Chains A and B, each alone.
Chain A
Amino acid sequence: MKQNNYTLRKFKNHFLAGVFIGTSFLVLIPLFSILTQLISQGLGSVNWEFFTRLPKPVGEAGGGMANAIVGTLILVGIACCLGLPIGIGTGIYLSEYSNKHFASVIRFTTDVMSGIPSIVYGIFVYVLIVKPMKSFSALAGGIALGIMMIPIIARTTEEVLKLVPNTLREAALALGIPKWRTTVSIVLKTASSGVLTAVMISLARVSGETAPLLFTALGNRFWHHGLLEPIAALPLQVFTYAISPYDDWHRQAWAGALVLITMVLIANIFARFVISRKFAILRK
């Protein structure tokens, strides 16, 4: 009886270890399925035309997503103008100046903001900007993405700034450098690769967002004329094409998704390996 019990326990131990290994690789199946599908379905349509031409009307083969690629870059550019200063500034404030109570309120707010569904940001910007201006616009889309960047950048910046050793700050202050100069030229510079990681991660995140753009940037089948008009974006275009009934558009959707995911993954991998390795020196 006792011997049996022991065998059972040992069996359970090994069996569960097997289950744990199995599931860890099982959860990767969707990842590989997505990547192989993207390559097999999308690669054929990714060509020079795809990057340089406008979408063609239904029924005509060919055409590309040049306007959507440029649109995404413009939207992300606008988002950076809003997200970078506020995000990095908040990070600096939290790490260098904060008093305890106000800082915990801000930290809590950023945490909560990063959990709010992206579509809610879309509604907010619609009510705030699109409705008063009576027009969907690139500006509104960029602002929606910019607001989404703030919590990601703020918290990561705070964390990496806190990793900078205090001795560096003290050394700078001892030389008579004012605090703001110390913060900008010593602390921020030491942690610059970490901050860059934060920026890359947030860019990767927002450049793939569709939901907040649905009723802010709206999408556009042509080149846009100015920032106050609707603008195309790669994820939006993929969405419209994917739910359309045309085979030709489906092919374009796969190609668009492949380009999109390549952009996102490069940003992610870049942030993860190249930059964080340089930054690892600080962590030691």
Chain B
Amino acid sequence: MNLGDRIFKFLMFLMALSVLFVASAMFLEMYHGALPSFHKFGFKFLVDSRWDPVQDEYGALPFIYGTVVSSLIALLIAVPLSLWSAIYLAEYAPRWIKTPLSFLIELLAAIPSVVYGLWGVFVLVPWCRKVVQPFLNHWFGFIPLFQGSMYGIGMLSAGIILAIMVIPYITAVSREVITAVPYTQKEAALALGSTKWEAIRMAVLSYCKSGIVGAIILGLGRAVGETMAVTMVIGNTPQIKASIFEPAHSMASVIANEFSEATSTMYLSALIQVGLILFVIALLINMTARFLIWTVSRGPQGNPAIL
């Protein structure tokens, strides 16, 4: 190798190495920042629901609860919608609908989250207050989940807006996964006399279910880390209530709200620890999702001669 080649290769290697460096620095710096809080509160931090900057006592339970519940509401709404759209796009839609429709759905992913938040505050929240919450309260009010005062702002609105935000991700990935299923699968089912839906359900969906689960988990990852839109509609109240109408708080939104005002070292450290928890959760979720999607996209395992 001549000198120019060596220099160039080394430079490119440095660039690639710096990615690794940034990622590990991120973990280490945050771990380091979270240490004071970790030493003081230990694992109690995860199950304590006190968040008191005045007394310097911190527990992250309300935030973990808020993140988990709002993400679950989001998935509950988003999974059927995006799965059905993905099936339509992959199996039914003619080309002249498929291209513009998938482009429009992907456009949903391009909208900045602060714009979602703005729309949430002025359109979604009033709609929730006037339509969705009275409806749920009227028909399902006997369940504690749907009781309480109807502000509009709260866990439910956060869940709905998260659902809208993760739909494009779940749709795009499941569409790809469904498209990756070999034709022969479906043809075999059709040849046995199944209807189109039966062929899709038995031969296509069951074939790629781990990939679809991967897509859903990827969506969950997005929902867990989403900050701005949630902060603007969830109400930012650290409490654990049975009702999904009540204001709540999430891990990302507590960081967004309080980080620049954190005065004491312990306060800052507690917030960094919340960030570290978020980081680790996102890491685990993404690794699981990538693995599941990979198991489908690598193709069928076993004897290729049979296929």
Residues of A with Cβ closer than 8 Å to B? Answer: 9-10, 12-13, 16-17, 19-21, 23-28, 30-31, 33-34, 37-38, 41, 85-86, 88-90, 92-94, 96-98, 102, 105-106, 108-113, 115-124, 126-128, 136, 147, 150-151, 154, 178-181, 183-184, 204-205, 207-211, 214-215, 218, 235, 238-239, 242-243, 250, 253-254, 257, 260-261, 264-265, 268, 272
Write the chain A residue with the least CB distance to B196: A13
Q: Is the CB of A34 within 8 A of B111?
A: yes
Q: Supply 26 A–B pairs (Cβ within 8 Å), ascending by A.
A: A9-B195, A10-B195, A16-B197, A23-B84, A23-B88, A24-B84, A27-B108, A30-B108, A37-B122, A88-B15, A111-B290, A112-B283, A115-B218, A115-B282, A117-B226, A120-B30, A120-B279, A127-B272, A179-B1, A180-B4, A184-B8, A210-B227, A215-B259, A235-B112, A235-B114, A257-B118
The CA of A124 and the CA of B24, in the complex, are separated in Å by 11
Judge whether B104 is part of the interface by a CB distance below 8 angstroms.
yes
Q: Is the CB of A238 within 8 A of B30?
A: no
B2 neighbours in A (Cβ, 8 Å): 178
B119 neighbours in A (Cβ, 8 Å): 30, 33-34, 37-38
A106 and B111 contact, Cβ closer than 8 Å, known pairs A23-B81, A120-B26: no
Residues of B with Cβ closer than 8 Å to A? Answer: 1-2, 4-5, 7-9, 11-16, 18-20, 22-23, 25-26, 29-30, 32-33, 80-82, 84-85, 87-89, 92-93, 101, 103-105, 107-108, 110-119, 121-123, 164, 167, 171, 195-198, 218, 221-222, 224-228, 232, 252, 255-256, 259-260, 271-272, 275, 278-279, 282-283, 285-287, 289-290
The CA of A203 and the CA of B224, in the complex, are separated in Å by 23
The CA of A88 and the CA of B81, in the complex, are separated in Å by 36
The CA of A160 and the CA of B268, in the complex, are separated in Å by 42
New contact pairs (16) apart from A20-B92, A238-B114, A261-B115, CB-CB < 8 Å: A13-B198, A24-B85, A28-B108, A86-B15, A86-B19, A105-B20, A106-B20, A115-B222, A116-B283, A121-B26, A123-B271, A124-B25, A204-B110, A214-B260, A242-B114, A253-B118
The CA of A9 and the CA of B12, in the complex, are separated in Å by 59
Report which of B20, B224, B232, B275 forms a contact with A242, defined as CB distance below 8 A: B232
